[in-house]
Structure 1
Amino acid sequence: MKIIIINGPNLNLLGKREPEIYGSQTFEEYFVVLQAEFPTIELHYFQSNIEGEIISKLHEIGFTFDGIILNAAAYTHTSVGIGDAVKSIPTPVIEVHISNTFSRESFRHQSYISPNAKGIIIGFGLDSYKLALKSFL
């Protein structure tokens, strides 16, 4: 099974940015933990702060991978283009958020990805990614 985790803007700052919301672990550190916990999955990781790069990555892998875990971060609430890209590919996408977006600012309650996602996992910290991986098994 081949799965990719795609993280959007500012998630490269995990471990430094707002640790009270996002924790103190970097995503790279957590990714090593995921790889060890799911050795039968060919796990890939991509992060970009640039909307077009995320769309291009979805187009690139959306016809060949078995699953996509997408945390589009702030683009979740603003990017019709990412939502359309998810709709355009056959690979199932699980939308993931580290924080509970519904307990935050009201603009974070809207998602352009959710209508086209296989499922949504919100608010379980970094373990949201682990839950998404388990959903593909």
Structure 2
Amino acid sequence: MKRKATAVWSGSGKDGKGHLTTQSTVLNQTQYSFGSRFEEGIGTNPEELVGAAHAGCFSMKLAFNLQEAGFTPTELKTNCEIVFEDGAIVASNLTLTATVDGISKDKFDELVKDAETNCPISKLLNTKISVTSTLN
């Protein structure tokens, strides 16, 4: 399986602008710029997209782990905070709120830890990863 995305940038780093398009066209010439990355400008930014990818990948990996263990989650809600300092992503902090009937806290924690380590985006990121989880 291969997935594709395209970034187009015009102009200098600070004054230029760009757009992103994904193979699925969920992002279709979606704006990004210095302002959307380092200020509060309109558009997206690479760190926001990495955060969405990590939260989504982690949640899906955890769902597969739960399924394999005989559980079906009612809901897995994962927020991701990407920490960008001095030109590098230095951390990806995941916060999970999960509703899974019939699972023990110990088993849940074991499956969460596996998802943290083994989701493909976690494997891709060369940074500190943390997960804080709540089981409802």
| TM-score of the two chains, using structure 1 as the length reference | 0.23
Higher helix share: 1
Higher strand share: 2
Q: Which protein has greater RCO, CA pairs closer than 8 Å, 6+ apart?
A: 1
